[in-house]
Structure 1
Amino acid sequence: MIVDPDLIAKKILDGFNRHYSVFREQSQEAKFEFEKGNYRGIRALSSERITFYDKRIKETSALLEKSYGESLRKDSLWPEVKKSFIMLLTDHKQPELAESFFNSITTQLLDRAYFKNEYLFVRPAVSTDYLGSQTPSYRVYYPLNIGIKKTLVKITLDFELNCPWENVYLDVRALLKRIFKTFEKPFRITPDLQIHILKSLFYRNKAAYIIGRIILDGDPVGFTVPILRNISGHFFLDTIITDKEQIRLLFSFSRAYFMVDMEVPSAYVSFLKTLMPFKPSSELYTMLGLQKQGKTLFYRDLLHHLKNSNDRFRIADGIKGLVMLVFTLPSFPYVFKIIKDERKKDVSRDHIENRYQLVKLHDRVGRMADTLEYSFVDFPLDRIQKNLLDELLKVAPSMCEIINERLIIKHVYIERRMMPLNIFLENASDSQIEKAIKEYGDAIRQLIAANIFPGDLLYKNFGLTKHGRVVFYDYDEIQYITDCNFRRLPPPRTPEDELSEEPWYKVGPNDVFPEEFETFLLTQHRINRAFKKYHAELLSPEFWTNQQKRIEEGFFDDVFPYPNEQRFFPDKNIE
């Protein structure tokens, strides 16, 4: 069979173009759902979109297998296909994404023994610098021409949302008042004052975010303005966020991905980098819903870091997990998690992987860490501490293989590294404990709002971010609140019952007894006092059953990435 590299390259690019076309259609659909107030529809679109990439990879790979079969395994073929593919990307608007798609296809079709750098895009072949769409990715406004108030109204209405506004002029006055308070130097309308606004809104849950920057004296000041709907279904501007750390938190690894319609994703990432210069591009691509590109860039960052560092991977701090082995590289702010072969819990590998996928597809409400999932990752053997290597080969031998001084790990999850909450609490002051325990309870409440029960509430399963935010990261026992059976503890029938180490009552697989939380969570006096000050009702079964009813009745609680007091009108009700 004659195999044409040009035709294979074209079929791969056609597969990518189909994928990105559907990706954009989903993002555009988010606008229509937002206009209707169909927030569940937005969540469904976001979850569904995550699965599209793998479907297109399988579809395109199957097409190539059917057409060429074993001819695809020829050593001489793939360097030629790669060259042809690069030529096709000359005027492409998403070349970096197409290169990642090409890598996914080759790794899907070829046995690992065939993976070679000349077959893959280890580094980008096509630059995305100054890559633009037919129309610019952002609009530019000059307030000197028509005045600042009219400019802000025009910015708001230019998104052409098909729904009435409550009172856009009142919102703009509140917005302007906040801007004047925020800027350290006097805010003057000068000829060089510009406002840049990305053309697509950023949709997530109940909000659509305007993302922009103010250029004053040549320096960009980033901002975001969330648009919400009131109980009458009318739009309003809720606040303006200009603090860099708050903007970073909006794009946090613990939140759901945005729905954004982008012809040129690299232009959006470039714009966002001016607002968050220290946030890795891998995380920005991921938060834009392009998690496969995020994975590609993350892996390149890891390889670059390994080349320019000399510390060694070691077992992570904290209590050893019952189902996971966790290790880290001290100079790299992530942890690597491997499912053990023999687990001290009666859970299967499939169940654990299913739980991690549930979190990937679910709204993480700022309280669950996102994970990057990789297969066949190789690590230099001389960069791994001996006790870590021994532990890996002892508890997860099926996941490890040593080849030519490299350790190949066949399946690994990677997460942002956090301080385990139990370690923090051991050495914390009274005020630090109170703040952390309030955060811990708030995290549980917000997980409840997202219909998530963590399963195991022990502090070792929660981490503290550098911003002091508590995030849950152990998912093997996670389940939906609506699947749980919250019960009161039955009273003991006899004194012997009360002294018994075993329960005197039947316990079903989904039974939860909130009264027991105090026994294993609140034995330390300072923690007990702080928890009961802010979250005593979490110890009551009635609280949990009431939350269940709200979820079952379709209530969609509000969990926003900024404090309520920051809103223009804190008492305003949201649809």
Structure 2
Amino acid sequence: MADKAQAKKMAYQIMTSFDKNYRWFSRVTRGAQERFEKGQWQQALAASKERISLYEQSLATAVAELYDFIMDHRQDREFWEQLKKAFAELIESHPQYELAETFYNSVIGKVFRHKSIDNTIMFVSSSRCFLAGQDKHKVIHSFDTTTTVMEMYESIFACYRFNIGFEDRPRDMQQLDDALRERLSKEELASVTAVEMLKPVFYRGKAAYLVGRICMPERTVPFVIALHTNENRQIYVDALLTERQDLSVIFGFARSYFMADTQFPGELVAFLHELLPNKKQFELFIALGHYKHGKTAFYRNFLEHMDNSDDQFEIAPGIRGLVMMVFHLPSYGVVFKIIKDEFAESKKITREHVIDRYKLVKMSDRVGRMADTHEYVNFRFPLSRICPALLEELQDTCASSVELTNDELIIKHLYIEKKLTPLNLYLQQETDPDKLHNAIDELGTCIKQIAMANIFPGDMLHKNFGITKHGRVIFYDYDEICWMDERNFRSIPKSDDPYALDTLSVAPSDVFPEQFEHFIVGKRPFKEMLKSLHGDLMTPEYWRDAQKEVSQGTIHNFTPYPGSRRFKRPEHSGQ
């Protein structure tokens, strides 16, 4: 008979470890306001890295502290069932019970080396159904809508207080007033029943966002106020965002995680999901920095989708990668990426190097231009849903990562990433000249913004980029990325000798930007378009200047909404 007292004791210890982890997470998150007010952008980057790292640190400490329990009961299945039951009772009224379940799963996964996924000893399914709205009052402020628009804004900024002043508060209030009146008719304004704002301020990069909605009888409208600071450490309102598309990009998968302090993450996500119904809840948990729970929520969503679909997994469209094998389920919005057993001869890298590059991106500011990836071990697929051609290629190229049972395909190590249209396919299929022009412009902008985030993309073939439904170009091939200071950008020597290049001494870190035009895009019209829009990318001077900027600690702010949304400010304000 399993020892219930021991199970309860261990459950309590796991919960204590989780609570300690969440306090640490919250402490880092709360510091975002001071970093924003003081313009401590390097510290903000460091805090983001710290917060990503702390989960694994907390998990390792928790498992070490439970070592004696684990050794005593490793083979006692009844004990682990009792443990799950005891833990479920402990978190029944816990404000972060969803995240606590994930932490528990992580502990059990470490104990059993992720060999099985079993709902009798893990929370494969959640312990209870989340009832959105029962704690809504704990995460929102409601503002009086019987007053004037200007008075409503005054109430909002009386509620959200900062320790620094405004650059020009009357100007900002007037621009906010004018913007809302432009977007809503008098009749719509008169029909507003509520203005609800999430209590936490959402900090990321050099911006802060007040996030909420305007409620009317027939519809709700996103209501997001974007705040920046100037070089004199004064706040100004940069934009009022009321379009769901703008909000969707702000919460996009290619951006760093928000710092938004709350004790009720489930309620926060439920509110955001109402604003952004096309986003999955796991995407919103990830956007808030709860990427481990996002993985749990993704897996639950994946299992639900599998139960409600019957298509087969197949090789992803596009040119085969030299390092990664990529497949997808056509009806589902992600791709699965596996490191191949062997790389093409041109790839002078190791498996460990590739894993390290993906970690580097995870810890970096992705500035809206690099897709977030999520790492899984022993991910299970029904063998009946794997098409024969995919299974053959997996066994041929990734045999060391593949295990087969009678009814399952187990991938020992893989990455999951948002599905995008490969840019090379998009350029082949799209016929609208404006959209093609935008895609090429976006490609150049993407490369530049990644460089300004201190990352050299390495392999910049257009097949390594994807394009979103909003026409935004995202980079997703990381095996050759490195820090900007790890490359020496050189000019090609000028010589009348046609064989001069053959005798040129080239170090592994040397890069010749003048050659970029020959391989980033293939077709001549696209080459010419890229050169006309972003010709500076093909000069070593551009890259050396970018190196110099990042070496000086310059942090750029890339607003995730169109420039047309930004309010005008006088030049002397330092915009």
TM-score by length of 2: 0.95
- Please give the alpha-carbon distance, in whole angstroms, between the structure 2 residues aligned to 1:114 and 1:515: 52
- Please give the alpha-carbon distance, in whole angstroms, between the structure 2 residues aligned to 1:272 and 1:326: 31
Does the aligned pair in 1 maintain the 2:334–2:418 contact within 8 Å?
yes
Match of 1:35 in 2: 37
Does the aligned pair in 2 maintain the 1:336–1:413 contact within 8 Å?
yes
Match of 2:23 in 1: 21
Match of 1:71 in 2: 73
- Indicate whether 1:447 and 2:446 are aligned: no
- Please give the alpha-carbon distance, in whole angstroms, between the structure 1 residues aligned to 2:524 and 2:155: 56
Q: Decide whether aligned partners of structure 1 residues 491 and 522 sit closer, same or farther in structure 2, where only a CA change above 3 A counts.
A: farther
Map residues 483-562 of structure 1 onto 2, 5 A cutoff.
483-492=486-495, 494-497=497-500, 503-521=502-520, 524-562=523-561
Does the aligned pair in 1 maintain the 2:374–2:415 contact within 8 Å?
yes
Aligned residue for 2:503, secondary structure, equals coil
The code of the aligned residue for 2:184 comes to F
Map residues 318-397 of structure 1 onto 2, 5 A cutoff.
318-344=318-344, 345-397=347-399
Q: CA deviation at 1:366?
A: 0.9
- Please give the alpha-carbon distance, in whole angstroms, between the structure 1 residues aligned to 2:95 and 2:365: 29
Q: Decide whether aligned partners of structure 1 residues 514 and 570 sit closer, same or farther in structure 2, where only a CA change above 3 A counts.
A: farther
Match of 2:471 in 1: 468
- Please give the alpha-carbon distance, in whole angstroms, between the structure 2 residues aligned to 1:507 and 1:152: 61
Match of 1:169 in 2: 170
Map residues 245-256 of structure 1 onto 2, 5 A cutoff.
245-256=245-256
- Please give the alpha-carbon distance, in whole angstroms, between the structure 1 residues aligned to 2:389 and 2:461: 27
Does the aligned pair in 2 maintain the 1:89–1:126 contact within 8 Å?
no
Map residues 105-504 of structure 1 onto 2, 5 A cutoff.
105-113=107-115, 115-130=117-132, 136-144=138-146, 146-184=147-185, 186-189=187-190, 193-217=193-217, 219-344=219-344, 345-429=347-431, 430-492=433-495, 494-497=497-500, 503-504=502-503
CA offsets per residue over residues 89-108 of structure 1, 9 Å max, x none? 12210111111111111111
CA offsets per residue over residues 148-202 of structure 1, 9 Å max, x none? 2122122123222111111222211101111111125634346x63211111100
- Please give the alpha-carbon distance, in whole angstroms, between the structure 2 residues aligned to 1:549 and 1:211: 36
Does the aligned pair in 1 maintain the 2:70–2:111 contact within 8 Å?
no
Does the aligned pair in 2 maintain the 1:153–1:169 contact within 8 Å?
no
The code of the aligned residue for 1:120 comes to M
Aligned residue for 1:495, secondary structure, equals coil
Does the aligned pair in 1 maintain the 2:204–2:257 contact within 8 Å?
yes
Q: Decide whether aligned partners of structure 1 residues 102 and 354 sit closer, same or farther in structure 2, where only a CA change above 3 A counts.
A: same
CA offsets per residue over residues 413-458 of structure 1, 9 Å max, x none? 0111111111121233343332211110111111122111110110
CA offsets per residue over residues 310-341 of structure 1, 9 Å max, x none? 11111111111111100011111111000011
Q: CA deviation at 1:222?
A: 1.3
- Please give the alpha-carbon distance, in whole angstroms, between the structure 1 residues aligned to 2:113 and 2:549: 50
Q: Which moved more, 1:237-246 or 1:66-75?
A: 66-75
- Please give the alpha-carbon distance, in whole angstroms, between the structure 2 residues aligned to 1:124 and 1:522: 47
- Please give the alpha-carbon distance, in whole angstroms, between the structure 2 residues aligned to 1:177 and 1:482: 46
Does the aligned pair in 2 maintain the 1:5–1:77 contact within 8 Å?
yes
Q: Decide whether aligned partners of structure 1 residues 303 and 247 sit closer, same or farther in structure 2, where only a CA change above 3 A counts.
A: same
- Please give the alpha-carbon distance, in whole angstroms, between the structure 2 residues aligned to 1:426 and 1:113: 43
- Please give the alpha-carbon distance, in whole angstroms, between the structure 2 residues aligned to 1:395 and 1:385: 16
CA offsets per residue over residues 74-129 of structure 1, 9 Å max, x none? 11111111111111112210111111111111111124456422001111113331
Does the aligned pair in 2 maintain the 1:246–1:562 contact within 8 Å?
yes
Q: Decide whether aligned partners of structure 1 residues 113 and 251 sit closer, same or farther in structure 2, where only a CA change above 3 A counts.
A: closer
Q: CA deviation at 1:135?
A: 6.7
The code of the aligned residue for 1:454 comes to P
Does the aligned pair in 2 maintain the 1:316–1:327 contact within 8 Å?
yes
Aligned residue for 1:491, secondary structure, equals coil
The code of the aligned residue for 2:538 comes to L
Q: Tell me the number of residue pairs that the alignment of Structure 1 and Structure 2 aligns.
A: 569
Does the aligned pair in 2 maintain the 1:220–1:274 contact within 8 Å?
no
- Please give the alpha-carbon distance, in whole angstroms, between the structure 2 residues aligned to 1:137 and 1:219: 21
The code of the aligned residue for 1:538 comes to L
5+ residue gaps in structure 2? none
- Please give the alpha-carbon distance, in whole angstroms, between the structure 1 residues aligned to 2:70 and 2:358: 35
Q: Which moved more, 1:425-434 or 1:555-564?
A: 425-434
CA offsets per residue over residues 446-471 of structure 1, 9 Å max, x none? 11221111101101100111111110
Does the aligned pair in 2 maintain the 1:132–1:264 contact within 8 Å?
no
CA offsets per residue over residues 389-420 of structure 1, 9 Å max, x none? 11111111110111121111000101111111
Does the aligned pair in 2 maintain the 1:149–1:172 contact within 8 Å?
yes
Match of 2:55 in 1: 53
Q: CA deviation at 1:42?
A: 1.4
Q: Decide whether aligned partners of structure 1 residues 275 and 574 sit closer, same or farther in structure 2, where only a CA change above 3 A counts.
A: farther
5+ residue gaps in structure 1? none
Aligned residue for 1:238, secondary structure, equals strand
Does the aligned pair in 1 maintain the 2:42–2:553 contact within 8 Å?
no
- Please give the alpha-carbon distance, in whole angstroms, between the structure 2 residues aligned to 1:527 and 1:129: 51
Match of 1:568 in 2: 567
- Please give the alpha-carbon distance, in whole angstroms, between the structure 1 residues aligned to 2:30 and 2:498: 65
Does the aligned pair in 1 maintain the 2:207–2:227 contact within 8 Å?
yes
- Please give the alpha-carbon distance, in whole angstroms, between the structure 2 residues aligned to 1:506 and 1:226: 50
The code of the aligned residue for 1:116 comes to D
Match of 1:8 in 2: 10
Q: Decide whether aligned partners of structure 1 residues 436 and 131 sit closer, same or farther in structure 2, where only a CA change above 3 A counts.
A: closer
Percent of aligned pairs with the same residue? 37
Q: Decide whether aligned partners of structure 1 residues 37 and 113 sit closer, same or farther in structure 2, where only a CA change above 3 A counts.
A: closer
Aligned residue for 2:138, secondary structure, equals coil
Does the aligned pair in 2 maintain the 1:73–1:110 contact within 8 Å?
no
TM-score by length of 1: 0.95
Q: CA deviation at 1:26?
A: 0.7
CA offsets per residue over residues 28-70 of structure 1, 9 Å max, x none? 0111111111112112111110111111111111111134524
- Please give the alpha-carbon distance, in whole angstroms, between the structure 1 residues aligned to 2:86 and 2:445: 53
